[in-house]
Amino acid sequence: MSFLEDFFDDHFDVPAGSGNSAGDSAGRPPARSNPADSGLPEANSFEQASKSDMAQHLKVDKYDSFQLTGAVRPALDLKIKPTEGYRHEHYVDDETGASIPVVMAAASREKLFPLFISLIEKLGPVVDVVLESSHEADAGGHRDFYRDNIDMAVLISVLYDYEDLLLNDGCTGIAVLNPGKPQEVQFEEHKLLIVYGSPLEQYEFTMEKVGVSENESMRFITEAEHVHSSSENYLRSFEELRCALGLDGSHAEQAKDEYPDDFYNDGENWDQGGDLSGGLA
């Protein structure tokens, strides 16, 4: 059971089945799940591309007014063009059937990190934190590192020191939660912002205030083929951040992807027809 499932089991009392419609699934489940496991046929456009085409594509970091971070690039065919906005979903626990309201958001790079900070500040003065890593997937898979009861001011100070890592490493994510509310803000490895819990209005207002508007028909970069970017330098920086936050315990999941030094594929041909029990619906 993941920390999210523990969190919801311990702190939410939500009627089972509300809003659970896997056929309408969209967006990335919590970082412990992998949309590439949906069982859909694979058709990897990156494998069809020449080295020069791939190099040119990876250099593109802006689509219209939406500035990408260095973490992820969309498919060459741009079936889903990166765009800004947020929409509502539900997290559905695959064991209990409980449905938790969720807001998922994508923001242009210049807004993204300040928006994340503004969102987590609403969780309260003392929070729990989980640092998420898919570095060295061939050695240990996805890892989560936990710390309870960290002062929000201390956390924010440390996070600003590692802004580059959090924005641009496609193998690093972080979740900040307050079990007392209970609510959580996740800044996951695709650089999407996901807010779990209720009420969500104050988080939506904060997004709207910086121009990230509601768009229930939008689709996210995770819903199609894409590639992640990372490096040995980011791996070292991740370990430094882990130590700076005093994160000791870890939970490793079975490896799902291996990636070269700079880029690896994830989420090939994942669309709204997949089975996402235990994820967003």
The model's pLDDT over 238-264, given as tens digits with 9 standing for 90+, comes to 999 999 999 875 544 433 333 333 444
Judge whether residue 66 has pLDDT over 90: yes
Residues 6+ apart with CB under 8 A from 59: none
Strand partners, 151: 126
Looking at residue 214, the DSSP 8-state letter turns out to be: B
Alpha-carbon gap, residue 276 to 205, rounded angstroms: 28
Alpha-carbon gap, residue 278 to 253, rounded angstroms: 15
pLDDT at position 43: 54
Peptide bond into 74 cis (omega under 30): no
Residues 6+ apart with CB under 8 A from 193: 86, 104, 105, 106, 107, 112, 115, 116, 119, 185, 186, 187
| Mean model confidence pLDDT for the chain | 77
Alpha-carbon gap, residue 219 to 225, rounded angstroms: 13
pLDDT at position 93: 80
Which among 50, 28, 52, 49 has a CA at the least distance from the CA of 38?
28
Crossing angle for the helix pair 152-161 and 232-244, to the nearest 10 degrees: 160
Where b means 16+ CB within 10 Å and e means fewer, 203-238 reads: bbebbeebebeeeeebbbbbbbbbbbbbbeebbebb
Please report, rounded to a whole number, the percentage of residues in the chain having pLDDT higher than 90. Answer: 54
pLDDT at position 177: 96
Look up residue 262 and give its two tokens.
């700079």
Length of the chain equals: 281
pLDDT at position 214: 98
Residues 6+ apart with CB under 8 A from 147: 128, 129, 130, 245, 246, 247, 248
* Distance between first and last Cα of the chain: 19
pLDDT at position 264: 43
Using one digit for the tens of pLDDT, what is the confidence trace for 7-47? 334 433 333 333 322 223 333 333 333 333 333 334 566 67
Which among 61, 74, 163 has a CA at the least distance from the CA of 108?
61
Crossing angle for the helix pair 152-161 and 109-121, to the nearest 10 degrees: 160
Alpha-carbon gap, residue 103 to 56, rounded angstroms: 33
Which has the higher per-residue pLDDT, 26 or 190? 190
Question: Are 203 and 195 spatial neighbours (Cβ–Cβ below 8 Å)?
Answer: yes
H or E element, residue 57: helix 51-59
Using one digit for the tens of pLDDT, what is the confidence trace for 94-136? 888 888 999 999 999 999 999 999 999 999 999 999 999 988 7
pLDDT at position 141: 63
- Give the predicted TM-score (pTM) of the model: 0.76
Q: Give CA 21 to chain center in angstroms.
A: 21
pLDDT at position 198: 92
Strand partners, 103: 88, 195
Look up residue 93 and give its two tokens.
């626990």
**Residue carrying structure tokens 């924010």:** 156
Question: Are 124 and 176 spatial neighbours (Cβ–Cβ below 8 Å)?
Answer: no
Judge whether residue 53 has pLDDT over 60: yes
Which has the higher per-residue pLDDT, 254 or 157? 157
Average pLDDT over every residue of 206-235:
94
Using one digit for the tens of pLDDT, what is the confidence trace for 201-217? 999 999 999 999 999 99
pLDDT at position 50: 78
Among 44-48, 95-99, 186-190, 220-224, name the one with the lowest average pLDDT. 44-48
Which residue type, as a one-letter code, is found at position 4? L
